[in-house]
Structure 1
Amino acid sequence: MSIVVKSVCKALERIAPLRLAEPWDKVGLIIESPVPRSDAKRVVLTIDLTTAVLEETLKVPTALVITYHPPLFKPITSLTLANQLQASLLKLSAAGTSVFCPHSSLDATWGGINDWLADGVMGPQKDTAKVNILGEIKGEEGGAGRIVTLDEPVPIEELVQRVKKHLSLSQVDVGRPLAQKQIKTIAVCAGSGGSLLSGVDADVYFTGEMQHHDVLGAVARGRYVILCGHTNTERGYLPILAKKLSDVLAELARDESSNGLSREERIEIEKYQLDIHISEADMHPLDRM
């Protein structure tokens, strides 16, 4: 394994331990290239490994792609160029690029995506609002979702404006129950939160997408629903991840403990001056026209 891939994998484990991932998830090092390039000093961050992201990545020698969503999810019996995702993995591997996926471990960890989403609904109450784990509590390191309790209730219109501002969106989808009420509790889940949010006692369900009948059921039970588009609830976290990755890599270069890198590896990673690049081709797959 190249020193870049090894050090970045160690850094990601500190940021979002893979043991926090959901049992159904496919996380960790998905593809390790057998021909790593010695001149590859770039690490690319993306939500999805699309064809556009592949083409962008191949233009610059890249050691590792960190793709939030797993490019391989179901069991496979072959890897061929006929399948777009498989072809992307094969082409990256041939170019000396490995692929890592953090997915739900990055949702669950404290300071991860769901905490970033929770920050967005607090507004001026950030210092007084309470945030608790929603779903399975995984030790002291986090859990699947978040539930935010505001100190003072706000109207749904105010909460929607906070969400749009935080996610840099001009529009979101809002489900409204017949009985209008002020908002005090918000259940939060990045991506597709229908299964996690179902039946949760909160005034608002805030996620990327939910199935039609899940939305109908939630609204019938008197819940507001705010849907923003699956990847719109995830992509804005990439700059935060880039900063965390840079900081932890610097820590690893200074860490002389047995849990870090060897002395030779620390010297090497300090020399590398990695370029942590947020993909410019990665984007939400749907446009509103």
Structure 2
Amino acid sequence: MAQWISGDRLIQRFEAWAPKKLAYEHDKIGLLVGSLHKKVKRVMVTLDLLENVADEAAEKNVDLIIAHHPLIFHPLKNVRSDEGQGKIVTKCIKHDIAVYAAHTNLDIAEGGVNDMLADQLGLKDTDILQPTYSEPLYKLAVYVPVSHAEHIRDVLGDAGAGAIGKYTRCSFSTHGEGAFLPQSGAKPYKGTVDKIEKTSEEKIEAVVPEHLLHITIQKMIKAHPYEEVAYDVIPLQNEGKKYGLGRIGKLSEAIPFKDYCLLVKEKLGLEGLRTVGSPENMVKTVAVSGGDGNSLIPYAKYQGADVLITGDIYYHTAHDALLCGLNVIDAGHHIESVMKQGVKDFLCKVIAEEKSDTEVLISKAVTNPFHFVV
């Protein structure tokens, strides 16, 4: 008998990869149409949700559409079934198709759109172009009898606590004496009711990132021998893992800008592209951002990029790039369609792990509004 994953569970797993907290403040992400409280037999991935995509999804009996660009970005004054976005919303509701958008959170996520583009372009030693978020860190300190200290250290390490840079399972311990008085009804691991008990304990401290804090505490308490576990959670000022827009990386060797433009056109499967800069300039360090890259000019220049590849560049921003000596490739916003295969691969992995028979489709509908006439 076929097993279908629920929409809630699928999106829960998806948001563990591209959490909403990474998105820009006013981005319109998340569930936009319909409900996730249902079984999903088919999910479709698309860059944009236009009417032809909605028709394709209805024809293929899709239950959930995951789009990169939000269907509803500006508030709708009405929802008409005969024009505009209302036609798309109406079709999705009529065919019980839920619509979920992952936009800047998917751009910023590790392994997200910009990492997919950097991989497709063959960039090496990549790093974040513009940091936008640093995950909060906490120090978890737990008091444990010496006999169980090593076990609790292993539990914390297995949960992901104690990761600092390229080191894992980092912790610090101090020895001391714990004292407690069990009250009536207590079932102490050691000692008796109404009698002060003193025992040799270790205080184990480890750094935990915010997204692992809750589960780490749960696992620690479950493994702890005490009926009532004494522990502290202390917010830290230390910077946690950084996330951000765009990526910057290296080519294996420097090549002329004119040759690199042709290489980008080939690797991204483009009809054409716009360029800013001299064809003879040499390119070695490359910055890339699939969406609007106008705000990224100073970041690319500061980090030593020879060229910025972007989905959108304005006329006067192109002048700014020329003035600061930065080459630019405007490859068009549609280069973000790289996310379709990347998201499908992720969802297929999740569905396999969940032992589900849910099918993942990539939309074949054309949504790029631009074409080159040469």
When normalised by structure 1's length, the TM-score is 0.81
For residues 162 and 58 of structure 1, what CA distance do their matches in structure 2 show?
Answer: 38
Aligned to 1:138, what secondary structure does the other structure show? strand
Residue of structure 2 equivalent to 1:10: 12
C-alpha separation in 1, matches of 2:347 and 2:368: 23
More deviation, 166-175/240-249: 166-175
Q: How far did 1:132 drift?
A: 1.3
Counterparts in 2 of 1:87 and 1:141: CA distance versus 1, 3 Å: farther
Measured in 1, the distance between the counterparts of 2:360 and 2:27 equals 25
**Aligned partners of 1:228, 1:145: CA distance in 2, in Å?**
14
Given the alignment of the two structures, is residue 130 of structure 1 paired with residue 125 of structure 2, yes or no?
Answer: yes
Distance (Å, rounded) in 2 between the aligned partners of 1:208 and 1:95: 33
Question: Is the contact between residue 285 and residue 307 of structure 2 (CA under 8 Å) also seen in structure 1?
Answer: yes
Q: Is the 8 A contact 2:247 2:289 kept in 1?
A: yes
Q: What percent identity do the matched residue pairs reach?
A: 30
Gaps in structure 2 of 5+ consecutive residues: 135-240
| Residue type of the alignment partner of 1:211 | Y
1:133 and 1:142 in contact (8 A); partners too: yes
- How far, CA to CA, are the matches of 1:274 and 1:34 in structure 2? 14
What is the aligned partner in structure 2 of residue 109 from structure 1? 109
SS at match of 1:200: helix
> 1:34–1:77: structure 2 CA closer, same or farther, 3 Å change rule?
farther
Offset from partner CA, 1:66-123 (integer Å, 9 cap, x none) = 111011112334433354223212221221111000011111111111112222333x
> Over residues 178-197 of structure 1, what are the superposed CA-to-partner deviations in whole Å (9 max), with x where a residue is unaligned?
9x431122221112211233
Aligned to 2:308, the other structure's residue is in SS state strand
- Are 2:5 and 2:358, in contact at CA under 8 Å, matched by a contact in 1? no
2:364 counterpart residue number: 280
- 8 Å CA contact 2:47, 2:339 repeated in 1: no
Instruction: Tell me what 2:293 maps to.
Output: 193
Residue 176 of structure 1 corresponds to which residue in structure 2? 277
The one-letter amino acid of 1:182's match is M
Task: Pick the structure with more strand per residue.
Answer: 2
Q: Tell me how far 1:3 sits from its aligned partner.
A: 5.1
Higher mean Cα deviation, 167-176 or 80-89?
Answer: 80-89
- SS across alignment from 2:66: strand
Q: Give the Å deviation of 1:245.
A: 0.8
Counterpart of 2:71 in 1: which secondary structure? coil
1:237 shift after superposition: 2.7
In the other structure, the counterpart of 1:245 is 347
Q: Deviations over 1:135-169 (max 9, x none)?
A: 12423363111122346422213322331222112
Structure 2 partner of 1:95: 95
- Structure 2 CA distance for aligned equivalents of residues 182 and 57 of structure 1: 45
Asked if the contact 2:297/2:321 (under 8 Å) is kept, the reply is no
Distance 1:4 1:228, change over 3 A: same
Mapped to 2, the partners of 1:24 and 1:153 lie a distance apart of 39
- Which residue in the other structure is 1:148 paired with? 249
Candidates 301, 305, 323, aligned match of 1:220: 323
How does the TM-score come out when normalised to structure 2? 0.64
Residues 223-262 of structure 1: CA distance to partner in whole angstroms, max 9, x if unpaired? 111011111x1112311210111102222x2xxxxxxxxx
Q: Which amino acid aligns with 1:247?
A: K
Unaligned runs of 5+ in 1: 254-269
Q: Distance in 2 between matches of 1:14 and 1:248?
A: 11
Partner-residue secondary structure (3-state), 2:121: helix
Q: Which amino acid aligns with 2:291?
A: G
RMSD: 2.4
1: CA distance between counterparts of 2:106 and 2:37?
28
Give 1 or 2 for the bigger CA radius of gyration: 2
Q: Distance in 1 between matches of 2:245 and 2:84?
A: 30
> Which amino acid counterpart does residue 372 of structure 2 have in structure 1?
R
